[in-house]
Chain A
Amino acid sequence: METILLKPPLTPSSHREPWRLGTHFITISSAAEARRLFGTPDAVARQRKSDLFYRGIEARQRLPQGMHDRCEEFVYAAGHPSERDLAGLAKHLPLHYKVIRMHSHRLAAGEVWDLSVHHEEHWPELNELEELYVFLQVDHLLLEEGASILIRGNVLSLECGTLERVSPHPCREPVTADQYDIGIFATPFSVDRATSPNTGAHGLAGAAELQGAPGASAQIEGSLFGTRLVNTGTGGMVDTDSHGQDGGDAGPGGHGCRGHNGGMCRLADLRIGRLVGFDANPLRLFSQAGEGYPGGDGGYGGRGGDGGDGGHGVQAINGSVPAGNGGDGGNGGDGGNGGHGGNGGISSNIFLQMHAQDCAHVQTLSLPSVGASGGRGGTGGLGGLGGKGGTLLQEAKHGKSGKTGRAGLNGVAGAPGKPRFGARIFVVPASEQSDQKRIS
């Protein structure tokens, strides 16, 4: 977590669109229009935001996400996107906004105001990965004890004239994951593009192997002289393989697939004109992206096939066939390895713009997102049982029993997913001459 206190420069006022009271679901046709309607009119504050915009997110500027970052810098700071960036943004136009306009709003004790918008409720034609935007403009917002505002996975711009804490019990409670006034949270789903229907899937169980064929029993017939081996060949005896066949080795369990990455926290641009009632109980701002999803478990190794039983032997008048040994059981298949746990979600940065005298009454906490546990390794399959030895007819002798096959090795657990840095939270003082009032 990083909090930076900056000097307030001069800021020219800008034209402000008069919004009708209520909640509106609108589309914006260009980045320029979004810049005019939803960004701060404080040009100096914009420039300072631009100076800090890519701290912590430099590496992703080479990725497609970088285009989105540069366009957001244009809308909410002082960015200058390239023609290529604007061409890329054009594929996402129009932008979809939920606009909330209020004069005054009071959150009751313990009330949680979730500002989030979901595509399936208002724009079902959109892909769930498409960015959605929320703009809250409220002149006077009052927070009773324990009340909070949060957003999950949308880009948030908030313009509040006066934010007032109304609490009968002034006390200083530090910001935690459970104690905050404003929470910036992740999309309730992964935005990981490199996924397939199998992401996070468990590995398939290994195929069990069939039992080995039993040994052939001696073919005999009675005669005047005694038991006789059957001669069905031309000139020779039947070649009786009385030993049971070994059971086959089973197949290994499939590896578990890696888990999805955690949901993403998007950019937040919070502009508060004045804090009232936060001297003894600071404004608490918290953020954490989503936890990764567990890796799939490795599949069980298959069971080795049992050895075939030995066939019966005989001491005949024209030869002998030994009692067959039982075949060895086949080896069990190794268990599959567990898939890697999904990484924690990524975060865009958060800007909190307010007057300099209020900056000391802010507490921020941004936690890294948590990587998920790797999938468990699959259990190795059992070895097949050895077949029973056959009997030597007319005598109490048996062939040897086969050996039990080796059990398969257990798979290795998947590596845990990596955590990701939390959002950088920048507290930016407004310029002394900035015009935070709306034009009604």
Chain B
Amino acid sequence: MIVKETETMSAVNKASFLDLAQKLGQSVERLKAGEPVQTIVQIHSLAELKELLVGNPTDGQRAGNSQDLAVRHAAALAGGPDSNPLARLINHVFGNAPLSAQDAQAANAMFPIKISVFSQEDMTVTTDLLFGPSASPVVLNVGTLTFNGGSITTQNTVLSLTADTLAVGSNPGTKPYHIGILGVDGQAGTAGTGGAANNPPQAANGADASSRSPGVCAGGGGGGSTGAKGNQGGNGSTGPNGLPSLPATITLGSFSTQSGNLVLFTRSGAGGQGGAGGQGGVGQQGGNGGSGCDSGCEGTDGGNAGSGGDGGIGGNGGQGGNGVNGFNVTVGVPAANVNNVVTSTAVASFGQGGLAGAAGVGGGAGSAGGGGKGSSDGSSGQQGNPGTAGTNGAAGTQQGSPGQFFVSGQ
């Protein structure tokens, strides 16, 4: 959703990149010489952080941000005092919500923090620049920012981008946007382990026939036992949820006369696929038939081989993770260029369920017992049947809504 307005930008918004650089303690001389300058700035309070990251958005932008967060991040905002205060802090810093004393105390305890600030007089983006995933906030302070075949993308990372002038070159680049504010998709859940090996690996053997005395046999070889069923494969774990796209503030003083449209895109983090189920274990090998008696000139038949056990059941696939709702993007441009800002959003999907674990293989048959003199060997056993496959995991239950674009004109 795009919210566009034409309220007056504050004087701070119109400050040149050199002013901001000087304010942050960066070398103006180096910047005027065309050098890129990157410094670590120490921030001592929430107010300083607010000024650095947000600048001075309009009241309408702030109100719209808070109204939207109240709907799409209601649960996070309503969380108890021990819950993660990220959403409430964002609501205060980028919106107009007050901060509870407890949240203010928690925030103040984080300071001082260090934030990397990057300044350059003329920055031409010809490649795809990526900030994140889940990095510290990024502050880009540029004199003339030109997109010509490249893009800037953030992943679960706060962005504050200020440029005196924006230009868009003729080279479209590979991304469908110039600036992308993204979350991080959940990775696939852990696959279940295969069914554990049988212990012992073979069923009991049949007893060997014995000789009561040299040359005199008593009975044939015993039959081998049937192998046990293979163990079940482990279930795949649930896919993790995605990480949200974090707030971004984009402030542009002017558009170049030859410039085309600036394309912005946002999508939050999708849920990860559930982990695959592990394969069912191999069925236990059948026991060997016992040897027949072989004493002198007497002999008896060997014992039959035991059949292999059936293969184990495959593990179930894990449930897919959920997509998460993204945070909003605040954009300040000259009033004449509001319509030069083209925005696009996408839903963060839930993750698919993990694949079922395959059926375990049937165990092999044991060996037939050998017959004694003039007698027959035991019969062969059969290989065990394959087990059954597990079930596919269920898909995640929630999609993540994209953040809104609040675009304000001069």
Contact = CB atoms under 8 A, between A and B. Distances in A.
Contacts of A225: 49, 107, 110, 113, 136-137
Contacts of A130: 374
A227 B134 contact: yes
Given A224-B86, A224-B89, A225-B110, A88 B156 contact: no
A129 B297 CA distance: 10
Contact of A224 (B133, B158, B214, B294): B158
Contact of A129 (B90, B93, B113, B373): B373
A226 to B, nearest CB: 4
Nearest to A220: B134
Contacts of B86: 223-224
Interface centre among B113, B115, B296, B367, by most chain A C-beta atoms within 10 angstroms, is B296
Nearest to A64: B296
A92 interface: yes
B135 A227 contact: yes
Contact of B296 (A88, A196, A221, A223): A88
Interface in A161-178: none
B298 interface: yes
Contacts of B296: 64, 67, 88
A18 interface: no
Interface in B132-159: 132-137, 156-158
Interface in B290-313: 291, 294-298
Interface in B75-132: 84, 86, 89-90, 93, 107, 110, 113-115, 132
A357 interface: no
B330 to A, nearest CB: 14
A440 interface: no
A222 B157 contact: yes
Contacts of A91: 297-298, 374
A197 interface: yes
B338 interface: no
A196 B297 contact: no
Given A196-B291, A222-B243, A127 B113 contact: no
Given A67-B296, A67-B297, A222 B367 contact: no
Contacts of A196: 291, 370
B246 A222 contact: yes
A317 B110 contact: yes
A15 interface: no
Interface in B142-198: 156-158
B295 A64 contact: yes
Contacts, number: 73
Interface in A199-225: 220-225
Interface in A91-134: 91-92, 127, 129-130
Contacts of B374: 91, 127, 130
B53 interface: yes
Contact of B53 (A129, A224, A227): A224
A220 B132 CA distance: 11
Interface in A148-201: 193, 196-197
Interface residues of A, number: 25
Contacts of B34: none
Contacts of A220: 134
Contacts of A127: 373-374
B134 A222 contact: yes
Interface centre among A67, A193, A224, by most chain B C-beta atoms within 10 angstroms, is A224
Contacts of A88: 215, 296-297
A224 B297 CA distance: 91
B211 to A, nearest CB: 10
Interface centre among A91, A92, A129, A221, by most chain B C-beta atoms within 10 angstroms, is A221
Nearest to A394: B135
A67 B297 CA distance: 9
Q: Is the interface of B mostly helix, strand, loop or mixed?
A: loop
A130 B86 CA distance: 91
Contact of B243 (A89, A221, A317): A221
B127 to A, nearest CB: 21
Given A227-B136, A317-B110, A221 B156 contact: yes
Nearest to B369: A196
B120 to A, nearest CB: 21
A412 B93 CA distance: 75
B246 to A, nearest CB: 5
B132 A222 contact: yes
Contacts of A92: 297
Contacts of A227: 134-136
A15 B330 CA distance: 128
A222 B134 CA distance: 4
A313 B402 CA distance: 30
A223 to B, nearest CB: 6
A16 to B, nearest CB: 31
Contacts of B294: 193
A88 B299 CA distance: 12
B69 to A, nearest CB: 14
Nearest to B197: A207
Interface in B356-409: 367, 370, 373-374
B298 A226 contact: no
B373 A221 contact: no
Interface string A59-81: 00001100100000000000000
A419 B165 CA distance: 99
B135 A317 contact: no
Interface centre among A64, A196, A223, A317, by most chain B C-beta atoms within 10 angstroms, is A223
A361 B49 CA distance: 121
Contacts of B215: 64, 67, 88
Nearest to B269: A221
A305 B93 CA distance: 52
Contact of B49 (A64, A221, A224): A224
Interface string A295-327: 000000000000000000000010000000000
Contacts of B114: 226
A89 B135 CA distance: 93
Contacts of B373: 127, 129, 193
Interface in B326-367: 367
Contacts of B137: 224-226
A198 to B, nearest CB: 9
Contacts of B136: 222, 225-227
A395 B395 CA distance: 37
Interface string B259-272: 00000000000000
A192 to B, nearest CB: 11
Nearest to A65: B296
A59 B136 CA distance: 90
B160 to A, nearest CB: 11
A317 B107 CA distance: 12
Nearest to B374: A127
Across chains A and B, which 4 residue pairs bring their CB atoms closest together, nearest first? A64-B296, A226-B136, A222-B156, A222-B134
Interface of B: 49, 53, 84, 86, 89-90, 93, 107, 110, 113-115, 132-137, 156-158, 214-215, 243, 246, 291, 294-298, 367, 370, 373-374
Given A225-B137, A231-B84, A317-B113, 11 more contacts: A64-B215, A67-B297, A130-B374, A197-B367, A197-B370, A222-B136, A222-B156, A222-B158, A224-B86, A224-B246, A394-B135
22 contacts: A64-B297, A67-B297, A129-B373, A193-B294, A193-B373, A197-B367, A197-B370, A220-B134, A221-B156, A222-B132, A222-B136, A222-B246, A223-B86, A224-B49, A224-B86, A224-B137, A225-B113, A226-B113, A226-B135, A226-B136, A227-B136, A317-B110
